[in-house]
């Protein structure tokens, strides 16, 4: 992160030992360690929050694309249903007209019943 080598750390430790003194150096080092730990936790929390936001944004985009696809599919299904319904209604109306038309145009003439002709042909006594 800061690109500090071992020799540079030794120089910093020697200056700290001279400036702070041997009695307070362990306490200062412990405090610096705690602060470094807090800093690392804070940085990791910020990274986790950013990752969550990125994932949430990706999920929102995916949800929106799925909703668009679902609405497009629903629209196509509804249009096909209406088309099929209109075709079926037209077919039913055509069949009903075909059944009504022959009965009006062609009235079948039925032959007289056999019993009526049989009565007229009886011999008279």
Residue 100 in tokens: 């009504």
Render pLDDT for 35-79 as a digit per residue (tens, 0 to 9).
999 999 999 999 999 999 999 999 999 999 999 999 999 999 999
- Count of domains observed in the chain: 1
Residue 122 lies in a domain: no
Q: Which residue range forms the structural domain that includes residue 50?
A: 6-91
Rounded CA separation 5/1 (Å): 11
Residue 27 lies in a domain: yes
Q: Is the overall model pTM greater than 0.85, yes or no?
A: no
Residue 88 in tokens: 């079926």
Rounded CA separation 121/3 (Å): 133
Render pLDDT for 75-93 as a digit per residue (tens, 0 to 9).
999 999 999 999 999 888 8
How many residues can be counted in the chain?
125
């Amino acid at each position: 992160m800061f690109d500090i080598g071992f020799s540079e750390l030794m120089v910093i430790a020697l200056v700290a030992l001279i400036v702070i003194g041997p009695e307070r150096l362990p306490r200062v080092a412990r405090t610096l360690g705690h602060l470094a730990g807090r800093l690392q936790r804070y940085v990791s929390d910020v990274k986790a929050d950013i990752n969550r936001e990125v994932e949430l944004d990706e999920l929102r985009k995916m949800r929106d694309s799925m909703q668009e696809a679902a609405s497009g599919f629903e629209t196509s299904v509804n249009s096909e249903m209406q088309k099929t319904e209109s075709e079926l209604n037209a077919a039913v109306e055509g069949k009903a007209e075909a059944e009504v038309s022959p009965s009006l145009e062609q009235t079948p003439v039925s032959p007289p019943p056999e019993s009526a002709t049989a009565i007229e042909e009886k011999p008279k006594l």
